[in-house]
Structure 1
Amino acid sequence: MNSTKDTLLKFKNCRLLRDDRIIDDDIWVRDGKIVNPEKVFYDEKCYADEEIDCKGALISPGFIELQINGAFGVDFSRNLDDVESGLLKVAKGLLAHGITAFCPTVVTSPTEVYLRVLPHLKKRTGGSHGATVLGVHIEGPFINVEKKGAHPPKYIKPLDKGVETVLDMYGSLDNVCILTLAPELENALPIIHELTSRGITVSLGKNWSHWLLTRHASLVTKRSKFLFCDVVTNYCTPRARSHKNNPKLWVKPLRGLVEVSWSQVWSKTLVFNLICITTGHSVANLRQGEEAVAHGANFITHLFNAMLPTLSGPIYVSLYTGLVIVTDAISAMGLEEGTHTIGQMKVEVRGDRAVVAGTDTLCGSITTMDKCLRVFKKATGCSLVTALNTATLHPARTIGIQASKGTLDYGADADFVFLDDDLNVWSTWIAGNCVYYDSNFPQTTVKVINEVHLKTENSYSCIHKDRPNH
């Protein structure tokens, strides 16, 4: 019998993502961590207290969202009166979409907003109350005013006093995980060095402006490691397309759509070095980008802000090892269809789109992470493993938490999501506990092996409908 007080769980009859492969294997969990069953059995002479039949589900590490401006009516940059309850509301709602950890994002705002909001967006461990809060992603105000997009220009600031400017703007950086700034700004490089030395992930610009990063960009990719795929609303609609005779790569800046001829980027000599076509909040050139990376910048945010054509092509192959998908969702995500008041604006939710009420003007993304993955996989023709890595392993590596999250390796947190082969979410688990279950999918069943070490009866009540009473 087990000599430990913690329940040892065995998840069986599952297919899981591990080491870039989908394999048939079991997952063993104890004390919120994934454990090596061989060591448990041979070294500790232990058997599972409970066996959980996963009914053939695909098990992926929990999804990690690095950029979400709000959801379910909550805007992290505007809901100032009760920041913590808004954070909890979003954290709870994200569980239904397989997200087990996230970075609430605050965009360009006046200093008083940062000073008021950031202390309340605290890092916290996830559970039945909601997904883990990894820390805040601050986007602005140190961006290029020439590429402000939807960011209010009156709040955009220079880095005129170096690091002191950053501290004056945000106050304490204790709750900050990611900071986006334009690397070409004066004093940016020493600030990047200082921020990264404090463990903060620095992203470059919102993206780099209007040029193709081709041959030399492979160096930046290798050194900076990861890119954000900004999955805007249009990315996930039928408007993402290619024409039979003249295929186009549709690039979406914040205002309007720009067509770039596919022939401009499609060539055997360039395709394997191509990163993307870019638009956005920075006018940094390649040299400035490389210098920023040399000073510690971790990745380039919003660098890939494009609607994928339906054409499946190798143009994206070179990106897969460093591609991170984010929703960049606004507060209308998760709201029912109809008209809602968000801040000072009337917003109408129509299917997968949020528009200014009475118009067809898009407000931003309301597409959930699980749907982003489904669309990305279909649009690119990539493998299931590739798609899942963009929302699990890659974001974990981006912020340096891959030892505990983003994988199903031994020793990692037991944060995972049950999926079908179409990437629909069956259930979400944090620290080995079920925190969300979709009743439309097969019920997972539990076989009690060792009643002595049972957890409380309601530990699995959200998913294990047929668990025996004890």
Structure 2
Amino acid sequence: MKALCNARVFDGDRMLDRHTVFVDCGRVVSVVPEPSGVDPIADAVDLNGLIIAPGFIDTQVNGGADVLFNDEPSSEGIARIVAAHRRHGTTGLLPTLISDDRAVMERALNAVAEARRAAMPGLLGIHLEGPYLNPKRKGIHREEKIRTPEPDAVTLLSRLGDEATTLVTVAPERVREGFIAELSERGVIVAAGHTAGTYADIRRAQSEGLRGFTHLFNAMTPMTSREPGVVGAALAGENTWCGLIVDGHHVHPATARVAVSAKMRGRIMLVTDAVHAAGSTHRELEFLGQTIYRANGRVTSATGTLAGSDLTMDRAVRNVVDLLALPLEEALRMASLYPAAFLGIDAEYGRIRPGYRADFVALDDDLRVVGTWIDGVADSDAPAAPPARIGVGSGPG
């Protein structure tokens, strides 16, 4: 039994002052007010008034600390990415592979299966962002890697089954009728992204089970007065979730505020879209055959195209409070409960309640991460990740 004492506990619904969280066997046992007395058999940790909240969940993580998943689609690469983002409060993530060759996709799927069998803390599954996208909205994706689905694409994308969560981003107008429905029936979560589709295209995809939208506003058709486009379909859909990159660059804060107001509450979640620049000290890094540049919170190609981000979830939470002027409680839900609901795991993740997994982040008054727990194990007690491979750099960030 472990007792996390003297904390401000955000349980997923409300902030509870001076409470203790009891944990046993990786699960929350109870949340009780202070002073309650700590069971003498419990291992007590005094948090001295820190905020303890459900650990952050990021569904779009391309890399971190100089490791890009496309370059290192291995369990070792995943471990380094997970460790890099755990330092910023993320206790559950989907390593994200952007459009690449079939062989790389298979290696990535095999790596996630291997890591899940080894019960790697913090790994929830995989996000395959492509390659079944629209070249007209390719963003930083390499056009030569983008293609229409192969005859056995459904089998490939669903190969992990119940072993891990699989999220796939497609351009609905580029896949055959029934493709999204077949994936959904096999338990694969399908999102729309890098799409030039129309409102009607998205509505058809929603009828087949489309569940989300990848980095809302970016690489998709905008909403206009006569054609709602993908953005309009995303904001109007009642049974879908939208990933939002709140770094002040991908989406203007005013636009983000409008989106949060327009979309049904609980259906906008924070994502980082982080590449290996996140947690790196380098200003220049190699990215799939080209150099990308990191400066002032932006990561771009030589032509100025956004190349993911160096955002972390703790910074995204602070930005929601500072840039969007939303309450802290809602920012924390956007980082934990709402992505858990999107992934269909909100019966175990996203709250601090009896029976839920003991995945927590501790924050100080400035919303800086002080520590994390996954299944009740503190980061200080977790095994170290393998050392990162350093990329091309030009000085500290």
Contact 1:115–1:171 (CA<8 Å) still a contact in 2? no
Give the TM-score, by structure 2 length.
0.77
Deviation at 1:63, TM superposition (A): 0.4
Contact 1:62–1:406 (CA<8 Å) still a contact in 2? yes
Residues 1:426 and 1:144: Cα distance change in structure 2 (over 3 Å): same
For 2:334, the equivalent position in structure 1 comes to 390
Contact 1:206–1:303 (CA<8 Å) still a contact in 2? no
Deviation at 1:346, TM superposition (A): 3.2
Contact 1:140–1:156 (CA<8 Å) still a contact in 2? yes
Contact 1:135–1:176 (CA<8 Å) still a contact in 2? yes
Q: Residue type of the partner of 1:407?
A: R
Per the alignment, in what secondary structure is the counterpart of residue 122 of structure 1? helix
Residues 1:225 and 1:122: Cα distance change in structure 2 (over 3 Å): closer
Contact 1:226–1:323 (CA<8 Å) still a contact in 2? no
For 1:119, the equivalent position in structure 2 comes to 110
Deviation at 1:405, TM superposition (A): 1.3
The equivalent position to 1:345 in structure 2, one of 277, 287, 290, is: 290
Number of residues paired by the alignment? 366
Contact 1:95–1:130 (CA<8 Å) still a contact in 2? no
For 2:59, the equivalent position in structure 1 comes to 66
Report the Cα distance in structure 1 between the residues aligned to 2:382 and 2:245, rounded to whole angstroms.
Answer: 42
Report the Cα distance in structure 2 between the residues aligned to 1:340 and 1:156, rounded to whole angstroms.
Answer: 23
* Structure of larger gyration radius: 1
Give ranges in structure 2 of 5+ residues lacking alignment.
33-37, 384-397
Report the Cα distance in structure 1 between the residues aligned to 2:77 and 2:85, rounded to whole angstroms.
Answer: 13
For 1:204, the equivalent position in structure 2 comes to 192
Residues 1:226 and 1:309: Cα distance change in structure 2 (over 3 Å): same
Residues 1:73 and 1:132: Cα distance change in structure 2 (over 3 Å): same
Contact 2:192–2:214 (CA<8 Å) still a contact in 1? no
Match status 1:411 vs 2:377: no
Match status 1:16 vs 2:9: yes
Aligned residue runs from structure 1 range 441-456, under 5 A: none
Aligned residue runs from structure 1 range 94-133, under 5 A: 94-122=85-113, 124=115, 131-133=121-123
The equivalent position to 1:191 in structure 2, one of 156, 179, 182, is: 179
Contact 1:14–1:59 (CA<8 Å) still a contact in 2? yes
Per the alignment, in what secondary structure is the counterpart of residue 367 of structure 2? coil
Match status 1:329 vs 2:266: no
Give the percent of matched residue pairs that are identical in Structure 1 and Structure 2: 27
Report the Cα distance in structure 2 between the residues aligned to 1:302 and 1:385, rounded to whole angstroms.
Answer: 17
Give ranges in structure 1 of 5+ residues lacking alignment.
1-7, 39-44, 231-250, 266-275, 280-284, 437-457, 461-470
Report the Cα distance in structure 1 between the residues aligned to 2:292 and 2:95, rounded to whole angstroms.
Answer: 21
Match status 1:378 vs 2:322: yes
The equivalent position to 2:143 in structure 1, one of 146, 149, 153, is: 153
Contact 2:10–2:352 (CA<8 Å) still a contact in 1? yes
Q: Deviations over 1:162-217 (max 9, x none)?
A: xx3333x55833455211112234524x23222222222111234565879xxx99
Residues 1:173 and 1:26: Cα distance change in structure 2 (over 3 Å): same
Report the Cα distance in structure 1 between the residues aligned to 2:245 and 2:274, rounded to whole angstroms.
Answer: 17
Q: Deviations over 1:64-105 (max 9, x none)?
A: 11001111221212335xx22211111111111001110001
Q: Deviations over 1:19-68 (max 9, x none)?
A: 52111222111111101368xxxxxx965523221100111100011001
Residues 1:135 and 1:382: Cα distance change in structure 2 (over 3 Å): same
The equivalent position to 2:311 in structure 1, one of 338, 352, 367, is: 367
Deviation at 1:378, TM superposition (A): 1.2
Report the Cα distance in structure 2 between the residues aligned to 1:116 and 1:205, rounded to whole angstroms.
Answer: 23
Residues 1:348 and 1:152: Cα distance change in structure 2 (over 3 Å): closer
Q: Residue type of the partner of 2:65?
A: F
Contact 1:142–1:182 (CA<8 Å) still a contact in 2? yes
Residues 1:65 and 1:146: Cα distance change in structure 2 (over 3 Å): same
Report the Cα distance in structure 1 between the residues aligned to 2:99 and 2:304, rounded to whole angstroms.
Answer: 25
Aligned residue runs from structure 1 range 12-411, under 5 A: 12-24=5-17, 25-36=19-30, 48-79=41-72, 83-122=74-113, 124=115, 131-159=121-149, 161=151, 164-167=152-155, 170=157, 172-174=159-161, 175=164, 177-188=166-177, 190-206=178-194, 229=215, 253=219, 286=233, 299=241, 306-309=250-253, 316-319=260-263, 320-356=265-301, 362-411=306-355
Report the Cα distance in structure 2 between the residues aligned to 1:10 and 1:373, rounded to whole angstroms.
Answer: 26
Deviation at 1:131, TM superposition (A): 4.5
Contact 1:101–1:126 (CA<8 Å) still a contact in 2? no
